[in-house]
């Protein structure tokens, strides 16, 4: 899979220096590399670990509003039925993100009442909370963004392209990993208490 470029901007987290480049996924988006004049998304990395079906590590992050989000707090307990978490890797300089942001925001609102929480993840050490909030305000977007400046989540999941999406069930297990376009099918399966028919997909966007 190529790194997303131009119409499909994404980040390639290189093991040597964690440079996020852009390229092309299997969902039809393509464009040009940030390295030639566009901005790069950069962060620190460690090898991806998580696999579909496994319990996800209990990360805690701060979102763009300053709120602390602990993934483990979304899991089912005796007191709570828990929430499904949808994490989509995202960047303000990613052109493929521009093509799905409004749909993401719409789905986040639609599924919130059904116990599904949507989060964008900004795995970009060069991007501040202020720049993220300015971007959201300018584009009239209102989804929460987890600030992952050290790329901990990106490398835990092995994410190499923006708009790559992880769906975590109410028990804290990774149940879907791949392009954003296929994530809703996984969400519907989980809400219907079914096995996820397509737990992985290639591509991004």
Task: Give the mean model confidence (pLDDT) for residues 5-15.
Answer: 34
How far is Cα 114 from Cα 192, in angstroms, rounded to an integer?
11
How far is Cα 27 from Cα 42, in angstroms, rounded to an integer?
24
pLDDT digits (tens, 9 = 90+) for 28-75: 333 223 333 333 344 433 446 678 999 999 999 999 999 999 999 999
Task: Give the mean model confidence (pLDDT) for residues 165-188.
Answer: 96
CA dihedral 98, 99, 104, 107 (to 10 degrees): 150
List Cβ neighbours of 33 (8 Å cut-off, separation of 6 or more). Answer: 3, 5, 21, 22, 23
How far is Cα 83 from Cα 138, in angstroms, rounded to an integer?
30
Residues forming beta bridges with residue 70, ordered by sequence position: 60
How far is Cα 22 from Cα 2, in angstroms, rounded to an integer?
8
Q: What is the 3-state secondary structure (H, E, C) of 66-95?
A: CCEEEHHHHCCCCCCCCCEEEEEEECCCCH
pTM (predicted TM-score): 0.78
Domains of the chain, with CATH numbers?
46-191 (3.40.30.10)
Say yes or no to pLDDT of 143 above 70.
yes
pLDDT score recorded for residue 10: 38
pLDDT score recorded for residue 6: 30
Evaluate the CA torsion angle 205, 155, 141, 168 in order and state its sign. positive
Residue 78: pLDDT band (50, 70, 90) is confident
Least confident of 5-19, 111-125, 128-142, 187-201: 5-19
pLDDT digits (tens, 9 = 90+) for 81-135: 899 999 999 999 999 999 999 999 999 999 999 999 999 999 988 889 999 999 9
How far is Cα 107 from Cα 117, in angstroms, rounded to an integer?
10
pLDDT score recorded for residue 197: 97
pLDDT score recorded for residue 48: 60
How far is Cα 82 from Cα 171, in angstroms, rounded to an integer?
7
Least confident of 2-16, 40-54, 94-108, 149-163: 2-16
Q: Is 31 exposed, middle or buried (0-12, 13-18, 19+ CB in 10 A)?
A: buried
pLDDT score recorded for residue 80: 84
């Amino acid at each position: 899979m190529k790194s997303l470029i131009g119409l499909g901007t994404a980040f390639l987290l290189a093991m040597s220096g964690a440079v996020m480049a852009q390229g092309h996924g299997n969902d039809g988006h393509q464009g040009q590399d940030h390295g030639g004049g566009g901005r790069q998304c950069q962060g620190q990395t460690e090898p991806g670990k998580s696999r579909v079906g496994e319990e996800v590590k209990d990360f805690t992050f701060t979102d763009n509003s300053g709120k602390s989000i602990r993934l483990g707090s979304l899991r089912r307990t005796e007191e709570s039925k828990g929430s499904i978490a949808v994490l989509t890797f995202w960047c303000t300089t990613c052109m493929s993100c521009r093509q799905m942001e409004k749909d993401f925001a719409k789905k986040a609102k639609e599924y919130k009442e059904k116990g599904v929480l949507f989060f964008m993840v900004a795995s970009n050490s060069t991007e501040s909370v202020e720049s993220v909030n300015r971007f959201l305000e300018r584009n009239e977007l209102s989804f929460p963004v987890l600030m992952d400046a050290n790329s901990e989540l990106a490398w835990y999941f092995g994410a190499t392209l923006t708009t790559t999406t992880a769906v975590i069930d109410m028990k804290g297990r990774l149940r879907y990993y791949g392009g954003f376009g296929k994530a809703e099918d996984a969400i519907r399966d989980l809400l219907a208490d079914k096995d996820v028919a397509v737990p992985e997909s290639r591509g991004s966007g």
